[in-house]
Amino acid sequence: MKLSRNRVGELFIVAEALLWAAFPIVTKVTYKFLPPIHTLAYATLAAAVFFGILFIFNKGWRELSKWEAWKPILLSTFIIAILFYAFFFWGLQTTTAGNASIISQMELWFSFIFFGLILRKEKYTRAALLGALLMFVGVMFVLFDGFSKVSKGDFLIFFATMIPPLGNHFQQTARKFVSTTTLLFVRNILGGIFLLIFSSLIETTPTIQNFSAALPLLLLNGVALWGISKIFWVEGIHRITVAQGLSISAITPIVTLLYVYLLSGEIPQLPQVFGLLPILAGGYLIVNKKFLRNEEILD
């Protein structure tokens, strides 16, 4: 049976979420050997090599002459590959993988603001507005650790989630002109080079021994988590709205907490559980078709 365009997009996002759930765990382990921005730079370049192979195989250089694609590609590179991930990696240094994954769901809340209230591509009902409020309350609960203390890392990741909606908007625009592999190859090679230069200016250069120890983790991050999962993500939001994609990917923190438990036996903390429940409920209310009056048009 042939799957609909929307269903294919949904399956891409589910696959992306299952892979991406391991991202904060692998990254935090890498910090044992490399500082945050060096980790980000090397992982981005590893992803660039992966996409470069696909780019050459698919003869992607033919798409580089599509000048109308360059502006959205460069803007998405700066917004996502550099700004978003820099703040996320800094934040991840001083918080848990579970908290980082849960707070990341605020990206849906900011997408709701960006696409619904600023661009006005989507019109929401009062139920969807209630969903946005629930998400905000849930993230605040995790952010303040049950309203008992404040974590600098959590706030950096919260700030980072404000950034991707605009970047996703430009990624959608670029995807109309070039393939996913071309988009992600250019984004990662340019972003990786910039981050490598930036990291050398603000952080201590790691030793060869530390780099060698981190290399398997960098390849895992670059190829599987940033490589394959980002193909799934871009292909997914090419078929469904960004808000729908983010709603489906709300399973990511649940999977992350499951991975953490299976790997270390660490049981989720109460603030994580109590914060996650309204986040999931709020995400459902925001993007459920019964509460969404007009779906965003992607092509």
CA distances to 36, 123, 233, 248 from 17, rounded to whole Å, are: 23, 26, 9, 8
C-beta of residue 116 within 8 angstroms of C-beta of residue 123: yes
State the average pLDDT over residues 56-76.
Answer: 90
What residue ranges do the domains of the chain occupy?
A: 5-294
C-beta of residue 12 within 8 angstroms of C-beta of residue 236: yes
> Tell me: the pLDDT tens digits for 116-159?
666 665 555 677 677 777 877 877 777 776 545 667 888 899 89
State the average pLDDT over residues 249-260.
Answer: 84
Which range, 27-36, 57-66, 236-245, is most confident?
Answer: 27-36
pLDDT recorded at residue 264? 75
Query: Would you place residue 286 in the very low, low, confident or very high pLDDT band (cuts 50, 70, 90)?
Result: low
pLDDT recorded at residue 76? 93
Is pLDDT larger for residue 90 or for residue 165?
90
pLDDT recorded at residue 118? 64
pLDDT recorded at residue 195? 96
Does the pLDDT value for residue 265 go beyond 50? yes
Averaged pLDDT score across all residues of the chain: 83
> Tell me: the pLDDT tens digits for 178-228?
988 899 899 999 999 999 999 999 999 999 999 999 999 999 988 888 888
Query: Would you place residue 230 in the very low, low, confident or very high pLDDT band (cuts 50, 70, 90)?
Result: confident
State the average pLDDT over residues 96-124.
Answer: 73
CA distances to 38, 110, 197 from 205, rounded to whole Å, are: 8, 35, 11
Predicted TM-score (pTM) of the model is 0.79
CA distances to 157, 188, 215, 242, 293 from 85, rounded to whole Å, are: 9, 12, 19, 18, 33
Residue 296, helix vs strand vs coil: coil
Query: Would you place residue 299 in the very low, low, confident or very high pLDDT band (cuts 50, 70, 90)?
Result: very low
- For residue 75, the tally of other CB atoms under 10 A from its CB is 17
Does the pLDDT value for residue 291 go beyond 60? no
CA distances to 68, 104, 257, 279, 294 from 273, rounded to whole Å, are: 45, 15, 10, 10, 32
Q: Which of 2-6, 114-118, 207-211, 256-260 has the lowest mean pLDDT?
A: 114-118
